Structures are given as structure tokens and as C-alpha cells.
Amino acid sequence: MTLERERETVVEYAPALADLTPGRTGNLSVRRGDAFAVTPTGVPYDSFDAADVPVVGLDGERKAGRMAPSSEVPMHTGIYKHDRPGAIVHTHSPWATTMATLHRPLPPIHYMIVAVGREVPLAGYAPYGTEDLAANAVAAMTEADSDAVILANHGLVVTGPDLETAVENTRHVEDLCRLYLRSSAVGEPHTLTDEQLATVEAKFESYGQGSEQ
């Protein structure tokens, strides 16, 4: 089966997508080479198996899978062709989408933002499922050197080397959007400086059980 491991990974992480986004509004994908496995369109996240999961080439052509792919295939292909991450998660999670309706980027109010960059930029609005949306997302992430982007009046996109990381960082960004909006209701949140963020980035390089103690 084409991209068998990647299709199984999509099925594995589909429940996490259901927890992050309302209804059937999100999508995720995982890439290998010049193709990617992506969630099918318009179906509950617990109603498909690996054989159903569509496989799409970077040219946008469907290669395998019993179900039709997400309507956001143009955005996934656009991002993959630009910087070739290993996975993409797109949600309409409530706090990030609130930021999207306010046209606000997420500034560095907490050190955990460095999981995706030093800010989460805002991409200009374009209709869903279009190449214009992909171009806006890529441009905003490139300018900000970020692995995530808030799509104006739409939602959130997070990329990563693999689907586990992309899902985890989607949760981080959603939590930081909630923190930002709650703190903004009380006053103006203070942001970290570039120097402070650089210190965190250096510390993250040696963080975790795989680092030398």
C-alpha cells in the first residue's frame, strides 16, 4: 500500500485533531518524499482506516486511498513544496481562531513559543482550499521564520518534522493564544526580548532525556 506507514500515522493522530478543532473542520498530513498522506474530507475523524486515507503527490494529484482528500490539499502542497516539513496540522481551534478573527499575530509572551519560532505571524485572508491561501501562509511563515501561522478569519496551521511534533506544537500554540487573550483582557501582556528568546532556544537544544547530563 502506498505510504502505508504514513497513512497509519494519519489514522493514529486523527483523534487528536478531533480534540483540537470543532466538527470536521481541520485536517492533517504527513509527507514522505514527493507525496503525503492526508485526512479525507468531510468525514468523522474516527470513521476511516489506513486504506481510506488519501495519498496525494506534491503536484496535487491523488495517488491512492478510497476516500477523497481534504479540500485544503492546495495549502498542504504549497507548504510542502516551499520548505518540505514532515507534517502539517490545520485546525479551527477556538483560541487561535479568535486571534484570526481579530487579525492578531501571537507575540512572544511565554518562552514556549520557541517551539515554533519567536512569534506566530498572521497571514492575509484568502478563501479556503485555494493556492492563494497557501501562498499567504508560506509568505507569513517565511518572513517570521516560524513553523506556525494564524490564517486571518480562518484558523491555525502548524508544521513539524513529524506528526507527533506538529500536533504537540499545535497544542502549545492554542494554549498560548488562550493565555494571550486572557491576559489582554486585563492589561497589555509583556513580551520577551530577542535576547531572552535566544537564551531559551539555546537551553532547548539540550532539553530532554536524549541530551547529555
CATH number, span 12-204? 3.40.225.10
Rg (CA), the chain: 17
pLDDT of residue 211: 43
Contact 89, 30 (CB under 8 A): no
Q: Which amino acid is at 213?
A: Q
Which residue matches cell numbers 514527493? 34
Indicate which residues carry an active-site annotation: 72
Q: Name the burial class of residue 49, with classes exposed (0-12), middle (13-18) and buried (19+) by CB atoms within 10 angstroms of its CB.
A: exposed
CA angle 88, 26, 133 (to 5 degrees): 65
In the chain, which stretches have pLDDT less than 50?
209-213
Which residue matches cell numbers 484568502? 126
Predicted TM-score (pTM) of the model is: 0.94
Which residue matches cell numbers 521564520? 145
How are strands ordered across the β-sheet holding 155-160?
A: 62-64, 55-57, 35-38, 27-32, 87-91, 155-160, 148-151, 122-123
**Distance between CA atoms of 178 and 53, rounded to whole angstroms?**
32
Alpha carbon 86 to chain centroid, angstroms: 11
DSSP label at residue 157 = E
Which residue matches cell numbers 541530551? 211
